[in-house]
Amino acid sequence: MHPQGGARVGLRERKKQETRLALSWAAIKLGIERGVDNVRVEDIAAEAGVSLRTFRNYFSGKAEAIAARHLDRAQRVAAALRARPGEEPLWEAIGRAVEEQFALDGQQAGARVPDRQWIEGVRLLLTEPALQGEIFKVNARAQSELAAVVAERTGTDAARDLYPRLVAAAVGAALGTAIEHWLRADPPVPVGPLLREAVDRLAAGLPVP
């Protein structure tokens, strides 16, 4: 491929990713502010500055748009784990991959304390049945992708062996539990240290405190 052609493809893909992210953030923002039932896909498109047709090119509905950020981040965790040095111990590599991909606004993972009103909005958002269904599908896909990377790093087979799928499921459960703890924390706390603690405790075999 001609270098300029490759650059155009790269720019086009980057623009698509930016549009997808903008739509997902718009869906999350409006869902928190108004409640999911009071948000139309037209509202999300307008908030993101795109047409309704563009929205339909990316998502089938508002629940999928809201869950997209969770999926994208989970896929980045798997990609970051794949990129970690091969000689790095598995659980250290997982912990670092998680830290990297939960970074907020270019800061260290969870370095800022969240706004209480935002946290409450996220909690309410996650009670929506339609969104819970999307999150369930996202988690299943994310675990499958993470298991494939764990298999690569450990010389196992994600389709045949228990280990990579067990690790992926355990990591998913640990991160989900850490996020639930974060949403209930009073006063609010940064999420990053909770995520790393969850992975570290898991790696240590969950010893009694």
When pLDDT is cut at 50, 70 and 90, the band that residue 8 belongs to is: low
Percent of the chain residues past pLDDT 90, beyond the cut: 65
> According to the model, what pLDDT value does residue 107 have?
45
**pLDDT for 105-156, tens place per residue?**
344 334 455 677 778 888 888 888 889 999 999 999 999 999 999 999 999 9
Task: Confirm if 84 and 76 have CB atoms less than 8 A apart.
Answer: no
Percent of the chain residues past pLDDT 70, beyond the cut: 90
What are the phi and psi torsion angles at 56 (to 5°)?
Answer: -65, -25
The total of other beta-carbon atoms located within 10 Å of residue 15's CB is 10
> According to the model, what pLDDT value does residue 64 have?
95
CA 10, chain centre distance (Å): 23
* Average of per-residue pLDDT values in the chain: 88
CATH says 63-204 is which class? mainly alpha
> According to the model, what pLDDT value does residue 104 have?
45
Higher pLDDT, 80 or 10: 80
> According to the model, what pLDDT value does residue 125 have?
87
